[in-house]
Structure 1
């Protein structure tokens, strides 16, 4: 018992911090989602599920949900495909490969706010580098108002997000690739297997855990996306790039509808929870089969 109490004392500081900053705010969010609190008034009135009923009939919520799903699908697919390809290309011991790994990882270490501001300047239709380069190359017909045109704004934000986080996914895939025993590839070479067959029958099945982690991180990160969109477009033009997190922020802090904004946060949490459980179930089953 004495040994157990000592162990509990070591765990206690982390448990207190986790409870104060994670558990208590999470539980209070469920409570405030049932109120009409404006975030400032000390008086809080319980309104039951009124916020959730309003939410179901709010067209802006559905537009934001559609934008978030669209963003999540694009980011998850392209980020994982690109990072897997790059991981296979830099999977070597040469110093050039090591240098490239570090280079690809740097954006993931930078602040999303800084990256958002940098890419906003790059996308600027007047003095941005992208349009300037296109014009200098004689391709002025391809210049766009990348963040101001509803046709291009979402793609521009998605590209920036992929650019930032591809390096992190690459590192996870690279860890999976380097854990594959070399003798499996040697056996495949003896059997005369092509590179594609080696990938399909050896590489892809054996990096299943890396695949599960990356897909899960991409989905959760995409559904919570706020900072990079807020810096670059603030959800515009109109509501073209407005995510659920952006809408939550506007309702809670711009319009002082803290109760309604918290209800949106709870719905986000439930959506992410359900998708994560389904995803883990499917991907874990694939890992076992692999």
Structure 2
């Protein structure tokens, strides 16, 4: 009996080792280094400074602006990813002509490299010879031409469009899986009772896809908190830090300024925000309740 018990522990040992090495240790190391002044080379030379790094971040208007950019970007990304994904999924579920081809087209950006998408949209929004301004010029709409990624007012929207293009297809995949689990009998019964398309959509489809909404909200929230690649490729956080996000700030402090202690503090703040926001989403949606709890 005792031997079987130890055999059971051996089965989970690889998973425990993996989590410890690649998750728990990095978090603990970052937590410790966030209380130090450290250049990232020899940790024995690190100087303990307490909460100075966190105080510096609190006073840093650039970092506070990065958090505002992140929240703004997160809200718009989640709204468009969920609404576009759900509407396209419902249309594809109608089995219209060519729906298989359209599924492939919508999902294709998900498997593309962020580098490819970033450079593609950089060329589209390029102020002088970009595809968008060239089209506006050809269409006689020169008054609508803008600097796009060169203007602080519009740059974040250019990145937002690229991000939605890349990840809307993932929402379609999740919603397709959710719709497959809804019995057709429910829609047939609603139709007999006189419910139209939109009534069925709002009264049946949206409520029964609650768990899918929660999954997309969680993944989208965490994805926006660690958003980096497209912003770095398209604008490098500019112009005037208008498209800088917390992870870009971390990268700048760690790689360019060798301020590893401050960068670690940023990482801990991102982890805390991700945990709190995820817990908040589960609490609001009721998915964190125990089974049988009212």
TM-score (norm 1): 0.94
The answer as to whether partners of 1:212 and 1:284 remain within 8 angstroms in 2 is: no
Q: Which position in structure 1 is the counterpart of 2:36?
A: 35
Q: Which position in structure 2 is the counterpart of 1:207?
A: 209
Query: SS of the counterpart of 1:147?
Result: helix
Q: Which position in structure 1 is the counterpart of 2:22?
A: 21
Q: How does 1:5-84 map to 2 (within 5 A)?
A: 5-42=6-43, 43-84=45-86
Query: SS of the counterpart of 1:3?
Result: helix
Q: Which position in structure 1 is the counterpart of 2:259?
A: 257
1:107 corresponds to which of 109, 122, 140: 109
Whole-Å separation in 1 of the counterparts to 2:247 and 2:98: 40
The answer as to whether partners of 1:208 and 1:286 remain within 8 angstroms in 2 is: no
- Where does structure 2 lack aligned partners over 5 or more consecutive residues? none
Q: How does 1:1-290 map to 2 (within 5 A)?
A: 1-42=2-43, 43-93=45-95, 96-284=98-286
Of stretches 159-168 and 119-128 in structure 1, the one that deviates more from structure 2 is 119-128
Following superposition, the deviation at residue 15 of structure 1 comes to 2.6
Whole-Å separation in 2 of the counterparts to 1:123 and 1:7: 57
Whole-Å separation in 2 of the counterparts to 1:65 and 1:188: 45
Of stretches 30-39 and 141-150 in structure 1, the one that deviates more from structure 2 is 141-150
Whole-Å separation in 1 of the counterparts to 2:195 and 2:94: 21
Aligned residues: 289
Q: CA-to-partner distance for each residue in 1:86-137, whole Å, 9 max, x for gaps?
A: 1111114567212211211111111212211121112112222122222222
The answer as to whether partners of 2:149 and 2:155 remain within 8 angstroms in 1 is: yes
Whole-Å separation in 1 of the counterparts to 2:174 and 2:223: 16
The answer as to whether partners of 2:155 and 2:242 remain within 8 angstroms in 1 is: yes
The answer as to whether partners of 2:282 and 2:288 remain within 8 angstroms in 1 is: no
Q: CA-to-partner distance for each residue in 1:62-82, whole Å, 9 max, x for gaps?
A: 111111111111111111111
Of stretches 134-143 and 280-289 in structure 1, the one that deviates more from structure 2 is 280-289
Of stretches 203-212 and 114-123 in structure 1, the one that deviates more from structure 2 is 114-123
Q: CA-to-partner distance for each residue in 1:177-229, whole Å, 9 max, x for gaps?
A: 12110011111111111211111211111000111101111111111101110
- How much is the aligned-residue C-alpha RMSD, in angstroms? 1.9
Whole-Å separation in 1 of the counterparts to 2:138 and 2:57: 49
Following superposition, the deviation at residue 6 of structure 1 comes to 3.2
Following superposition, the deviation at residue 286 of structure 1 comes to 10
Whole-Å separation in 1 of the counterparts to 2:54 and 2:125: 38
Whole-Å separation in 2 of the counterparts to 1:249 and 1:145: 26
Whole-Å separation in 1 of the counterparts to 2:107 and 2:3: 46
